[in-house]
Every structure is written in structure tokens, then in C-alpha cells.
């Protein structure tokens, strides 16, 4: 990392380190567990999908056809449920 010498006249020497540490911890809080949960959910979905096709492919096709409607209704309910809690949305 490089900074112009004038930058150190305006900022403290430890400010850069402090900002880096704070930013890394904010990133970790923002995406730390979410990435693991995302991959777990995807693995569960695909494993269930494969098992569903091998055990009962007709029912799996019906569920697959209905899934977009269920996803859309879940998204609508999520938006409706957020409005009373957070009036700013």
C-alpha cells in the first residue's frame, strides 16, 4: 500500500490500520455466516431435488411447476410483513 507523503500530514499514522481493521470486521459481519448458509441451502436443495427425481419423478415435476408461484407469494408476503415493522420502506 502506498500513500503520498502529504496524506500523513493530514491523517494519523494509525488511522489507516484502524480503518482497515474496522472495514474487515464490517465485511465479516455482513457476509461471514451468510455465505456458508447459502451454500448449505443450495446443497440441500440440489440433493433433495436429485433424491426426489429418483424416488418419485412425477411428484417432483409437479412441485417444480408450482415452485415459482410459491416463491412469488413468499416474496410478496415478505414485503408486506416488512412494512408494519419498518415504516421507512
Which pLDDT tens digit goes with each residue over 37-83?
899 999 999 999 899 999 999 999 999 999 999 999 999 998 887 76
Residue carrying C-alpha cell 481493521: 21
Into how many domains does the chain fold? 1
4 falls within a domain: no
1 falls within a domain: no
What is the domain range of residue 26? Answer: 10-81
To the question of pTM greater than 0.75 for the whole model, the response is no
Residue carrying C-alpha cell 457476509: 31
Amino acid at each position: 500500500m502506498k500513500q503520498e507523503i502529504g496524506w500523513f500530514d493530514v491523517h494519523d499514522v494509525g488511522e489507516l490500520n484502524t480503518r482497515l481493521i474496522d472495514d474487515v470486521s464490517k465485511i465479516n459481519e455482513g457476509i461471514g455466516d451468510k455465505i456458508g448458509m447459502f451454500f448449505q441451502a443450495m446443497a440441500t436443495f440440489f440433493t433433495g431435488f436429485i433424491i426426489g427425481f429418483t424416488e418419485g419423478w412425477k411428484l417432483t415435476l409437479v412441485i417444480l411447476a408450482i415452485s415459482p408461484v410459491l416463491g412469488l407469494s413468499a416474496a410478496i408476503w415478505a414485503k408486506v410483513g416488512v412494512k408494519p415493522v419498518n415504516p421507512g420502506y
